[in-house]
């Protein structure tokens, strides 16, 4: 009997109802609730003994990666905003249920002190750090460039770019040969949405930072890579991340005809963090459900 699974129907083509949450939103209150792998991800020991820190690990792709890493044998620390505690609690439980150490790190990465603190606390709790996933991001749509205030632009830059730079800088002294740094970029880094101008700029910056840093660190035996997701159903979308009409049609224009689920991204992050990707650095894996990208 064939074990093939059609990617068009492997996950449901969602039809989200109209819904709005205040930023940053709670994924457990989204309709439908995104699949972060609680019942669907199966580990194979690829990251046994590793120590990982994931920013934005309470929901969406970050949560899926945290669960996958734990089920692959890694201890996992997740950072998140205090208002996201409800989402974070289920991820912490999933990590511990996998038999791994979990560390909850609430706080706002817009602040330099918090960026440094989460690294220090992870190293203290786990006795080291060898996988860093810069995933935390802010996304808020605006119709026109003139609608983006300086304050909003600054906040998005600090949440996405500054935090990635600062957390990575704090982590570097603790990383040994064989360690891996990953960034969550986006297809918006290559083909920016006209309503996500500032977000697209930050994702291009993160992609560029990863590629430049990979050249800087390759001689130290530290690999740096990116994942660039396409439309993935997370709480970012209904918490002012997309206009309502786009929320209700989210992902239908992909080649597969549906939005992705966070758990579908996890495998790329596992691969890039594992020894199976030992000859891969400075690369970006695009996971967008089909469609040509302007590389």
Separation of alpha carbons 276 and 278, rounded Å: 6
What is the C-alpha separation between 200 and 84, in angstroms, rounded?
24
For the question of residue 271 being annotated catalytic, the response is no
Cα distances from 134 to residues 38, 62, 182, 218, 268, in angstroms, run 21, 9, 6, 18, 14
The DSSP bridge pattern shows strands 223-229 and 284-287 to be parallel
Query: Tokens for 276?
Result: 């199976």
Backbone angles phi, psi at 56, to 5 degrees: 65, 40
Three-state DSSP at 283 gives coil
Q: Are 203 and 186 in contact (CB under 8 A)?
A: yes
Residue ranges of alpha helices (H) inside the chain are 60-71, 85-97, 112-126, 150-157, 163-171, 197-217, 244-248, 263-273
Catalytic-labelled residue, pool 41, 199, 269, 271? 199
Contacts of 120 (CB under 8 A, 6+ apart): 170
Distance between CA 104 and CA 184 in Å, rounded?
20
Residue whose token pair is 């669907």: 40
The dihedral formed by the CA atoms of 233, 224, 56 and 78, expressed in degrees to the nearest 10: 130
The catalytic residues are: 199
């Amino acid at each position: 009997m064939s074990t093939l699974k059609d990617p068009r129907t492997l996950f449901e083509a969602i039809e989200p109802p109209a819904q709005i949450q205040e930023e940053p939103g709670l994924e457990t209150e989204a309709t439908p609730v995104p699949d972060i792998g609680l019942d669907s991800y199966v580990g194979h020991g690829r990251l046994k003994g590793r120590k990982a820190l994931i920013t934005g690990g309470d929901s969406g792709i970050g949560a899926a990666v945290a669960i996958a890493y734990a089920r692959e044998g890694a201890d996992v620390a997740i950072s998140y905003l205090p208002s996201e505690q409800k989402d974070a609690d289920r991820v912490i439980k999933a990590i511990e249920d996998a038999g791994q150490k979990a560390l909850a790190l609430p706080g706002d990465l817009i602040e330099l002190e918090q960026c440094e603190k989460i690294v220090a606390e992870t190293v203290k709790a786990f006795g080291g750090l060898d996988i860093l996933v810069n995933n935390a991001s802010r996304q808020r749509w605006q119709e026109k460039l003139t609608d983006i205030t300086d304050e909003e632009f600054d906040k998005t830059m600090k949440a996405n770019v500054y935090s990635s730079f600062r957390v990575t800088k704090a982590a570097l002294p603790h990383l040994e040969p064989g360690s891996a740094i990953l960034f969550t970029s986006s297809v918006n880094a290559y083909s920016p949405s006209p309503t996500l101008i500032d977000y697209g700029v930050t994702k291009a910056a993160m992609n560029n930072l990863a590629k430049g840093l990979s050249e800087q660190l390759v001689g130290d035996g530290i690999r740096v890579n990116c994942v660039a997701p396409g439309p993935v159903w997370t709480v970012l979308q209904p918490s002012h991340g997309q206009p309502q009409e786009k929320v209700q049609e989210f992902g239908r224009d992909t080649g597969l005809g549906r939005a992705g689920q966070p758990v579908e991204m996890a495998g790329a992050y596992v691969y890039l963090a594992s020894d199976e990707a030992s000859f891969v650095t400075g690369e970006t894996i695009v996971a967008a459900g089909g469609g040509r990208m302007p590389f």
